Amino acid sequence: MAITDWPTDERPRERLLKFGAEALSDAELLAIFLRTGVAGCSAVDLARDLLQHFGGMRRLLAAPQAEFSEARGLGPAKFAQLQAVLELARRHLAEEMTAQSVIDSPAATRRFLQAELRDRSQEVFAVLFLDNQHRLRAFERLFYGTIDQASVHPREVVKAALRHQAAAVILAHNHPSGVAEPSAADRQITTRLCAALDLIDVRVLDHLVVGEQIVSFAERGWL
């Protein structure tokens, strides 16, 4: 049965408008994005099948284009639409941080970094560049690959801090394994970066390691 044949108060779009998006299941939210099902399968049924096929919402959202586009009911157009939605969400989070001090909104900072880094398949080292009121001036992904002293160059971080006229920074990188426990190399490169940035009077407020959880160097007393 098509969703248009369902009782009005059971249709995902109408339920969202009446109760808010948080009241919907993952399948119902995905069904609104899909808009239509396939032959013999409503959009909600198709959404349930896709969530089962990919192993959940996060894996579906993080799926590479080829894998995503091969799934029933999807394709390159849907992939492009989804990437646009995800980028809008990231930019919304960035605007939220720009409007207030990151010190006053640590939850927003963590949400932003999780959206940017958590589901990436390789390690990415990034920096939040802040003004003297600790509001976001810029976010840059600077280095890719295994994070160690050979791949993260303090000189480049210093150049970027000067370019953005930053007064402070928050360092961040992800662990694709999902285990956010910092390594010895993570601690060593943090020490080097703190020393390099101190030469230009830029404070390192924190280094956040993103996995399934987020580990804060500042909270552990390592800065």
The pLDDT tens digits of the residues spanning 75-117 come to 999 999 989 988 898 888 878 777 777 777 788 889 889 988 9
Q: For the chain, give the mean pLDDT.
A: 89
pLDDT given at position 99: 72
Q: Are 171 and 207 in contact (CB under 8 A)?
A: yes
Residues 6+ apart with CB under 8 A from 187: 217, 222
Written as six digits, the tokens of 14 are 């109408």
Say what the pLDDT of residue 171 is: 97
Count of CB atoms within 10 A of residue 124's CB? 19
Please tell me the predicted confidence (pLDDT) of residue 194.
97
The structural domains of the chain, ordered by start, are 3-74 (no CATH), 99-216 (3.40.140.10)
Choose among 134, 148, 127: nearest CA to 192: 148
pLDDT value of residue 145: 82
Pairing of strands 136-144, 168-174: unpaired
**Smallest Cα–Cα separation from 171: which of 130, 211, 131?**
130
Rounded to two decimals, what is the model's pTM?
Answer: 0.75
Give the model's pLDDT for residue 147. Answer: 60
Q: What is the pLDDT along the chain (223 residues), one digit of tens a residue?
A: 567 668 877 889 999 999 999 999 999 999 999 988 888 888 899 999 999 999 999 889 889 999 999 999 999 999 999 899 888 988 888 787 777 777 777 888 898 899 889 888 889 999 999 999 998 999 999 998 876 554 889 999 999 999 999 999 999 999 999 999 999 999 999 999 999 999 999 999 999 999 999 999 999 999 9
